[in-house]
Amino acid sequence: KNQVEQSPQSLIILEGKNCTLQCNYTVSPFSNLRWYKQDTGRGPVSLTIMTFSENTKSNGRYTATLDADTKQSSLHITASQLSDSASYICVVSETSTGGGNKLTFGTGTQLKVEL
């Protein structure tokens, strides 16, 4: 069964500090991996998307890495800000025929940035 596991489940850091969120998956055949940020009560917003051949991608202070061999990804947040407080969701897409790849969602890491 395809699975996406994220760790830690929750994290509290001080403003200005860096942090790294982890995502391990067993989805096959792999198409791409995305990280989303979801503010409380809102829909997820895409941060990065990586295909099999990409091992790092940045979006401002967010940097995602992908190791397709070990099926692991990480999201590194640099110089955290209060507005980074949100749930971060790892989503892995499975290649399928007939259009519209099947997505498997992690349950997210809840990040809180404090003063």
Closer residue to other proteins, CB minimum distance, 13 or 49: 49
What is the pattern of x (binds other proteins, CB under 8 A) and - over residues 54-83?
------------------------------
Side-chain-side CA neighbours of 76 within 13 Å: the count stands at: 9
Nearer to other proteins, 1 or 69 (CB): 1
The H or E element containing residue 10 is strand 10-14
Q: Is 115 helix (H, G, I), strand (E, B) or coil?
A: coil
Residue 43 interacts with other proteins (CB under 8 A)? yes
Kindly tell me which residue out of 22, 32, 59, 72 binds other proteins, with binding defined by CB under 8 A.
32
What SS3 state is found at 109?
A: strand
Question: Which range binds other proteins by CB under 8 A, 14-22, 60-68, 77-85, 96-104?
Answer: 96-104
Q: Are 10 and 60 in contact (CB under 8 A)?
A: no
Residue type for position 10: S
* For other proteins, the closer CB: 17 or 52: 52
